[in-house]
Structure 1
Amino acid sequence: MDIHYTEEVSNALSEKRAIVALESTIITHGMPYPDNLEMARSVEAIIRDNGAVPATIAVIEGKLHVGLDDEQAEWLAQQKGTMKLSRADLAYAMVRGATGGTTVAATMMAAQAAGIAVFATGGIGGVHRGAEETFDISADLDELGRTAVTVVSAGAKAILDIPKTLEALETRGVPVIAYGQDALPAFWSRDSGIAAPLRLDTAAQIAQFMQLRTEQKAFGHGGILITNPVPESDEIPYPEMATIITVAQNEADQKNVSGKDVTPWLLSRIVEISGGKSLETNIALVKNNAELAAKIAVEFAAS
């Protein structure tokens, strides 16, 4: 597969230095211009400040890019009607010469193809509420089960059915590790009320775990999910967040919002109901995850 690298990423790969993959839906679908560009650049800066190289992944006019230069990022940030790419349509976009932002699943695929072991995101997709009727389950879960990339997140998005998402990850053999605490975080909240299956307290421990799985394929062949709690000063406590989510979900049901429209609609409505606080927390957790991912990547590169 023809992958286009920036010089910075290409050099880091050849020198076996620490690299952190980043998805591009934060640019194409997360925020309006220029906020999307500023956010992307700030996250990349955090990764560099912590000793790693950022590699934002996107498809631009049919070409898979691992790392975006300033001109490419600026152009992508201003495009309208871009695709939101997952496993099912990543190759399709490349064949059709389309432009799109990569989701968690597509970013994991591209990162593995490029030889990048660590990926920082906000939150993963999972089992949607009511999935027993709709069968609405994110491709992120299967990707974590099959693709050997360590994903640093703030847990599953709290609009999902977290217990069912955790069960689905267990079924796929995905290690779910809480960083520095016993509770599983829930995106905007540090504590979901659910105990995390596993806990590690340092980036070095996580890198050691990754290295063992890399060396001993019998110990696991898919991805690792690191759930990193948002800083306490930025969180929205889970009981408060649960009330907001319930209101938004009831409105979505009344308006018959369904399919791929559900998640963006709910996230947008939650921003409105929370008076913008959920967006502030979202930004804080993405930056927090980028910092941890860089530290893990540095430790892993040194192992």
Structure 2
Amino acid sequence: MVLVISEEVRAAIDARRPVVALESTIIAHGLPRPRNLQVALELEDVVRQEGAVPATIAVLDGCPRVGLDKEQLERVANEDGIRKLGHRDLPLAVAAGVSGATTVSATAQLAALAGVRVFATGGLGGVHREWTVTQDESADLGLLARTRITVVCAGVKSILDVPATLQRLETLGVAVAGYRTDRFPGFYLSDSGHPVDWTLQSPEQVADVMRAQDTLDAAESALIVANPVPQEQQLDPGLHARVLADALRALEEQGITGQAVTPFLLDYLVRHTDGASLNANLAAVRGNVRLAARIAAAWTRR
């Protein structure tokens, strides 16, 4: 697999300047056109405003790329047939010469290969509801258990089994810390209803943990920094609970299973909250990207 790192990202890595990895699934599959491209450019601009270099990651014509120019971003946003790639799909996509947007697991893997230590996303995947029946668990968890990267996120998607996901992360040895909170955020919600054991108060503290991971020669696992969406920008908790309950009933009635579950539930929330869930999602992503850039800056000041 030939990994192509853009000149800008390569120069920043070589000069020990801050770099933030960004996934491309939100561009290709998470937002309607043309808003998807606008958001992609906005998120890269947020990284630059904080003095860091954005490294949006995707696979184009079978070539994994860390850092996209505007033309490449436009391809991901507008080209029909862009696939959704997890880390297991990367060898297949490379061999077949296809183009695809990277999920959390694929982005984390390619970022780590490129030497990028900090990654910002919206919410992680996790253990699905009724796991005892379906055995459905996101590939994000296993990949993060063996990849040394710091992931800034708004917790896990609230459509998942949050306590089971936290338990699974503990079992896998993945460190989780709340950012200025002792509560684990719930993606659209500031508080999922579950606590975290550790709280970090500043980008410098996060960077200290990253250094300690290296000094202790700890297992090659990720550090998850759970950054809640501001309360004033979260989805109304009552609305969230009501619509999610309706969505889960609709899921069962329509017999939807497997990989179709998550996109169905997310789309249901967008449609039945009049777009409020999407606004909360974007607010969370913007905050995560900004924090990730500040962490990357603190990490390079050593």
TM-score by length of 2: 0.98
Secondary structure (helix, strand or coil) at the match of 2:75 reads: helix
* Counterpart for residue 280 of structure 2: 281
1:41 aligns with 2:44: no
Q: Does the aligned pair in 2 maintain the 1:190–1:229 contact within 8 Å?
A: yes
**What whole-Å deviation, never above 9, does each CA across 1:153-178 have from its counterpart, x for those lacking one?**
00000000000000000000111110
Letter in 2 for 1:66: V
* Counterpart for residue 61 of structure 1: 61
Secondary structure (helix, strand or coil) at the match of 2:87 reads: coil
Unaligned runs of 5+ in 2: none
* Counterpart for residue 210 of structure 1: 210
* Counterpart for residue 5 of structure 1: 5
* Counterpart for residue 173 of structure 1: 173
Q: Does the aligned pair in 1 maintain the 2:24–2:76 contact within 8 Å?
A: no
Deviation at 1:240, TM superposition (A): 3.4
Secondary structure (helix, strand or coil) at the match of 1:217 reads: coil
* Counterpart for residue 87 of structure 2: 87
Letter in 2 for 1:246: A
1:241 aligns with 2:250: no
* Counterpart for residue 134 of structure 1: 134
Give the root-mean-square deviation of aligned CA atoms. Answer: 1.0
* Structure 2 Cα separation of the partners of residues 237 and 229 of structure 1: 14
* Structure 2 Cα separation of the partners of residues 178 and 125 of structure 1: 17
Deviation at 1:31, TM superposition (A): 1.2
Letter in 2 for 1:190: S
Letter in 1 for 2:154: A
Q: Does the aligned pair in 2 maintain the 1:50–1:294 contact within 8 Å?
A: yes
Deviation at 1:238, TM superposition (A): 3.5
Secondary structure (helix, strand or coil) at the match of 1:20 reads: strand
* Structure 1 Cα separation of the partners of residues 199 and 239 of structure 2: 26
* Structure 2 Cα separation of the partners of residues 121 and 45 of structure 1: 15
Deviation at 1:16, TM superposition (A): 1.2
1:100 aligns with 2:108: no
* Counterpart for residue 260 of structure 2: 261
* Structure 2 Cα separation of the partners of residues 116 and 135 of structure 1: 32
Letter in 1 for 2:75: W
Moved more, 117-126 or 71-80: 71-80
Deviation at 1:237, TM superposition (A): 4.1
Q: Does the aligned pair in 1 maintain the 2:239–2:273 contact within 8 Å?
A: no
Deviation at 1:197, TM superposition (A): 2.0
Secondary structure (helix, strand or coil) at the match of 1:57 reads: strand
Letter in 2 for 1:209: V
**What whole-Å deviation, never above 9, does each CA across 1:101-121 have from its counterpart, x for those lacking one?**
100000010011000000000
* Structure 1 Cα separation of the partners of residues 214 and 96 of structure 2: 35
* Counterpart for residue 32 of structure 2: 32
* Counterpart for residue 73 of structure 2: 73
Alignment of 1:117-132 (within 5 A): 117-132=117-132
**What whole-Å deviation, never above 9, does each CA across 1:214-243 have from its counterpart, x for those lacking one?**
12213x421011110001221124343222
Letter in 1 for 2:67: G
Unaligned runs of 5+ in 1: none
Q: Does the aligned pair in 1 maintain the 2:6–2:68 contact within 8 Å?
A: yes
* Structure 2 Cα separation of the partners of residues 16 and 266 of structure 1: 41
Q: Does the aligned pair in 1 maintain the 2:146–2:220 contact within 8 Å?
A: yes
Secondary structure (helix, strand or coil) at the match of 2:141 reads: helix
1:291 aligns with 2:301: no
* Counterpart for residue 188 of structure 2: 188
1:228 aligns with 2:227: yes
TM-score by length of 1: 0.97
Deviation at 1:287, TM superposition (A): 0.4
* Structure 2 Cα separation of the partners of residues 91 and 294 of structure 1: 30
Secondary structure (helix, strand or coil) at the match of 2:54 reads: strand
Deviation at 1:275, TM superposition (A): 1.2
* Structure 1 Cα separation of the partners of residues 245 and 81 of structure 2: 30
Secondary structure (helix, strand or coil) at the match of 1:128 reads: coil
Letter in 1 for 2:37: L
* Structure 2 Cα separation of the partners of residues 31 and 193 of structure 1: 28
Q: Does the aligned pair in 2 maintain the 1:150–1:224 contact within 8 Å?
A: yes
* Structure 2 Cα separation of the partners of residues 81 and 39 of structure 1: 20
Secondary structure (helix, strand or coil) at the match of 1:89 reads: helix
Secondary structure (helix, strand or coil) at the match of 2:269 reads: helix
Q: Does the aligned pair in 1 maintain the 2:128–2:161 contact within 8 Å?
A: yes
Q: Does the aligned pair in 2 maintain the 1:186–1:238 contact within 8 Å?
A: no
* Structure 1 Cα separation of the partners of residues 84 and 152 of structure 2: 20
